[in-house]
Amino acid sequence: MAASSSRWGASYPMSILGENKMRQTVIATAVLLAIIVALFGATVITADAPRKAAQAAATSGSIDVMQMMRDTKGLSVEQFDAI
């Protein structure tokens, strides 16, 4: 095992320096993978939203305008003073 010095003057065996670099690489890869999965999930949810909204509107039924007009007869009318 050969010794290597870092910028700060400390001397560490090469295996420790290799393990630190490997640990940093694994952490960076895990973070990158998490970001990719999150972006993919957000894309899928965003792309699916208009289709779900259209489905909900189609299944809610149509509005019966004539029934609404019959139901609104006899309601009180508010008077507003014009300025």
pLDDT in tens, 22-67: 889 999 999 999 999 999 988 888 877 777 777 666 666 677 788 8
pLDDT score of 79: 75
pLDDT score of 68: 81
Contact (Cβ atoms closer than 8 angstroms) between residue 17 and residue 7: no
pLDDT score of 15: 63
Q: pTM of the prediction?
A: 0.43
Residue 56 three-state SS: helix
Would you say residue 73 has pLDDT above 90? no
13 pLDDT band, cuts 50/70/90, is low
Domain regions of the chain by residue span: 12-49
Compute the average pLDDT of residues 1-22: 63
Kindly report the backbone phi and psi dihedral angles of residue 78, in degrees, each rounded to the nearest multiple of 5, phi listed first.
-85, 140
